[in-house]
Structure 1
């Protein structure tokens, strides 16, 4: 038992890095940024698995050792408890006055009558009663205390099995879907995808989700305490087409996910996707798309990148900010002062060159300018800066065409997860709670009774002694209740 408690404590300590450091499975970009910002400690901690704590070998070793230890603890205790449940209460001690709780009284009635009344009183108080001879009674109750303790430990094993099962056979993926676009549940449709070791990513349930509308409500009145601009509701209306080909409208909201049968779809985020058109010098559209920008603060000041690989003579790239309610000042630069699109603006800088140097993969939300040069600005400025409102067009220098800010669309950030062990984990957690309550509330008690005739008065002398397994301040009251309660000696 001590070993199991030590391993449980070690597991809790081992989980601390998982909540202290960014985890690659949750936010790979933030993890990479942390390692980059800490060039000395970052690579070392990465090798030790601090950014993938729950998938690291050392955490799995603690997990498995705790699993084995709990089994080794529960199995022999269950066998002992089973024998205790079937065994009779022990014989009454010779000297009941030596027990922690003891009372002796002289009452009316014969010894047999008194003993029968005491037997009824004990059973009324849920004791299991047995008479080893004609003058004593042995009673015991509180077996649920040990039962609850065993249920608690068995439930912990269930939790461990459920978590392990979910890790091996579960998966999760994240995707950003602009309004009007459709997501197909295929490996290539995800922005990030993390499968379990036993998951075949090519065998996903075939369904699609079209984002019809993304409704967001913000607080427009200043009610104090920083409430102005706070979100009040997020709600995505989608068209879900299942494997059977039947389309139906489904709504996804915070704490109201969509069950697809092949994963649960959670609404984790939302933002804006400026719709931009880039034309070449002849006026031919070479890029037209709603490009998601990621919010950086509560007012949805968003950053993103627009990549145009079909431009001539070199690729074009635009990086900058989308501002739902834009303000540009010398102190903070471009930023938004309200999260809704009251005055949408697109502040960009332009680059030309090779968008994908060496063919290296990169984030769609950032622009790799290692093999690119900034386009020069007007009046000899080193860098071209563009500020657009919806409907405005900016002519690029050097005959490179133009960029038009057509409008703004919303997007929804969906997280789709499958965890086959969640039901077992939930049930086990509830059983663990119930077992813990039983083990803390129920008292393990033994009561012994001895009756003998009083030769002087012709009455009966009753001795009652009580013994608790643990410290029990209520044992004296329990003995008194047996003597004086209903069907007792009085």
Structure 2
């Protein structure tokens, strides 16, 4: 049993040393980057569940296998979490001993001067004779150059050891600890953060409050529940956009009504200027148009639908659908003909081109708007229980012949009315603006920001810091000096020459500094 215990301890120690080596940390960092590739290539369930379902329907052979391997939930998968945790542990185990050693080196006095200066990469005879006070004068010269110094006396001989350049190792440690803080900040934000996307149409009827049911897409952190979301409501009051003659947008400005902590206010929301709410940031992503349609069925009942159309190009040529499932209900019997449901598939042109057959807007602003509609009649599929998109008609109903085209396509101006074959009418009332919002809370953001700043500062210190040592010996035989760069430092010879000249007595001229091509540390 004792043999088994010692074997297990030895194996554990070897495994720990291997895990906490910098080589292992680099390998794990590379693996983390490779593991994140599927999250960028494949749709993720916490970001776009509809795209995941579409992918699974399209790739019936590989889709289920990838799903079982968590390729549609990469950042929450066990294998990604394992790599992330191992990298974190590896960095901690690697950096803590280095940090201890660096602190010990900072408080420890510079080492004794070697016996033979001529074995150092740089050395010189400063003066053939020495006078009283030369050692203190040399020490002051080194202190002015921000060297840490130590003076040792051995009979008539005084040795001055000086060291400088700990910024390199300090910067190196700051860089790696900053990388560690970045990993922690990302993990902390993933645990306690959340985000959601919402398409918000202009008007009081479309205002929404911060609950999961009101989001088009949402994702909660592992430690966040629905009741943890902050309470606020948003309403789009007005949207203004300006464009160049080429159609390129210049400004997007949204006037948003905000209700928070029982108080209402109007705020201005712009691109790259999010709303800072208590517990969430609201960012403006884009905008578009929502045509307003009025449908009058065969019994004279009027139904209104405000349908957001999605842009298909930069000139805001938009496509969408407007559905009227609860129409053509007999007022006497209250019975509904499910096969008489109406839906419209349309293309909206904010500015109709000179050739309308192009089906593309000439300008993103509403200079001369047109709405092209194709009516469909039959079963819309809302009662089937399957999830449906609000931006397209159910293609399964169309292919099965349960939803068919009803009449010819029509092009309507705002206020224009079209008549269907059964005598029912549809009126294009106009449009309302909509904006797409990204609402998120990331408590790890300050940690990541601080880590990024520290990472740059540490990298700068690591690249600019040059650790080196300089030694002087003052005795009856005169003053001699030696220098040793502890890192790659091409300018060390010039700096050593300047130090020697500054340390030389006024009447002395030091001999030429001897140098070698190779740098070896002398112990």
TM-score (normalizing by structure 2): 0.84
- SS of the aligned residue for 1:336 comes to coil
Per the TM alignment, residue 294 of structure 1 is displaced from its structure 2 partner at its CA by 0.7
Aligned residue in 2 for 1:157: 180
Distance 1:87 1:319 in 2: 79
- SS of the aligned residue for 2:422 comes to helix
Q: Which of 367, 375, 385 is matched with 1:342 structurally?
A: 367
Distance 1:203 1:8 in 2: 33
Distance 1:299 1:39, change over 3 A: farther
1:68 aligns with 2:85: no
Per the TM alignment, residue 408 of structure 1 is displaced from its structure 2 partner at its CA by 1.0
Per the TM alignment, residue 349 of structure 1 is displaced from its structure 2 partner at its CA by 2.3
Per the TM alignment, residue 414 of structure 1 is displaced from its structure 2 partner at its CA by 0.8
1:430 aligns with 2:456: no
Per the TM alignment, residue 483 of structure 1 is displaced from its structure 2 partner at its CA by 1.4
Aligned residue in 2 for 1:223: none
Aligned residue in 1 for 2:256: 238
Q: How does 1:205-354 map to 2 (within 5 A)?
A: 205-220=230-245, 228-243=246-261, 245-286=262-303, 288-312=304-328, 313-314=337-338, 315-327=341-353, 334-351=359-376, 352-354=378-380
Deviant stretches of 4+, over 6 Å = none
1:444 aligns with 2:470: no
Mapped contact 1:122–1:139 kept (Cα < 8 A): yes
1:463 aligns with 2:480: yes
Distance 1:107 1:214, change over 3 A: farther
Per the TM alignment, residue 358 of structure 1 is displaced from its structure 2 partner at its CA by 2.4
Per-residue CA shift, 1:315-347, capped at 9, x if unaligned?
3222232221234969x7522221111222222
Aligned residue in 1 for 2:416: 392
Per the TM alignment, residue 368 of structure 1 is displaced from its structure 2 partner at its CA by 1.1
Aligned residue in 1 for 2:149: 129
When structure 1 is superposed on structure 2, of 52-61 and 273-282 the one drifting more is: 52-61
Distance 1:333 1:27, change over 3 A: farther
- Root mean square deviation, CA, Å: 2.2
Distance 1:257 1:317 in 2: 37
Distance 1:262 1:397, change over 3 A: farther
Distance 1:58 1:409 in 2: 47
When structure 1 is superposed on structure 2, of 198-207 and 82-91 the one drifting more is: 198-207
Per the TM alignment, residue 453 of structure 1 is displaced from its structure 2 partner at its CA by 2.4
Per-residue CA shift, 1:204-235, capped at 9, x if unaligned?
22221111111111112xxxxxxx11111111
Distance 1:119 1:322, change over 3 A: same
Per-residue CA shift, 1:264-283, capped at 9, x if unaligned?
00001100010111221122
- SS of the aligned residue for 2:133 comes to helix
Per the TM alignment, residue 45 of structure 1 is displaced from its structure 2 partner at its CA by 4.2
- SS of the aligned residue for 2:179 comes to helix
Mapped contact 1:355–1:369 kept (Cα < 8 A): no
Distance 2:318 2:58 in 1: 22
Per the TM alignment, residue 402 of structure 1 is displaced from its structure 2 partner at its CA by 2.0
Per-residue CA shift, 1:80-131, capped at 9, x if unaligned?
1121112111111111111112122325641x42222211111111111102
| Matched residue count | 466
Distance 1:333 1:113, change over 3 A: same
- SS of the aligned residue for 2:359 comes to strand
- SS of the aligned residue for 1:320 comes to strand
Give the unaligned 5+ runs of structure 2: 1-21, 329-336, 507-523
